[in-house]
Structure 1
Amino acid sequence: MSVYDFNVKSISGEEKNLKDYEGKVLLIVNTASECGFTPQYKGLQDLYDEVGNKKFEILGFPCNQFGGQDPGSNEDIASFCSRNYGVTFPMFSKVDVKGENAHPLFKYLTHEQKGLLTEDIKWNFTKFLVDKSGKVVDRFSPQKEPAKLKKDIEKLLEE
């Protein structure tokens, strides 16, 4: 099993199979528009601009499970990300990332890379690094700035 076995919905509601990203290094992030970590959208976009042309994608998944910090519609979220942070990396429909209604992709991600003390995602902007074969190779806390992931990403791109 790999991340390529999952289907997701784009932020505009279109079905998307993650197999479309096969052969690329992925950074999968649960995001929020009203969180203390929301400025990481800029760091993510900067990282995407620097490394995105080298078979690398960032996939953003809005989530409203942590303090209700992403209450808007998918359309509101897309507009916010574009207007405030110039986001051009793929964004997807809002999902649950923990609990009984967690999206199957996030159940898989958290099973493959457990967090400190628990599998559950504890907050917005948790990041999962996926290699070119679809294997989840690392997990980073919300505190880890996107720029500090560049070396890890470049190493996977060289493999």
Structure 2
Amino acid sequence: MESILAISFALCTAFGPAVSAQQTITQASLYDRLGGLKGITVVVDDFIDRLVANKTLNQNPAIAAGRKSSLPPYLKFQVAQLVCEVSGGPCKYTGKPMNESHALLNISEREWDVMAKEFKKSLDKFKVPAAEQKELFDIVGKTKADIVVRK
């Protein structure tokens, strides 16, 4: 009996730290896996710059008008704050709900797809791993019904 306890103790001692480290790794929040606020803000900065420069999105007069009231630095702050919060970070999103902030932009399904492609380009540029990209797109996808108002 003592030898069984000794073996059990030895195994727990030998593999316990590895299991704890593995549990810590698998429990890391998306926020942490994205590199925290630093990682999020560099991606968001690039993403908003891409949206502002996108010719397809610029053809929508409602988006062009919306940009006059919500300048890129403000959008970058709001989007970074939102991504920080929904990814498990310490930030608290203080902007309007998605349906309110996008209500007058008359965003189409096609424009949503363009936005998603630009987001993917930003994520790829900063080498965000595929698993984290999928997790982000799953989160972003939940907002689609509040943002897209026309087919």
Fold agreement, TM-score > 0.5: no
Greater RCO, 1 or 2 (C-alpha within 8 Å, sep 6+) = 1
| Bigger CA radius of gyration | 2
Q: Which has the higher helix share?
A: 2
TM-score (ref. length: structure 2): 0.26
TM-score (ref. length: structure 1): 0.25
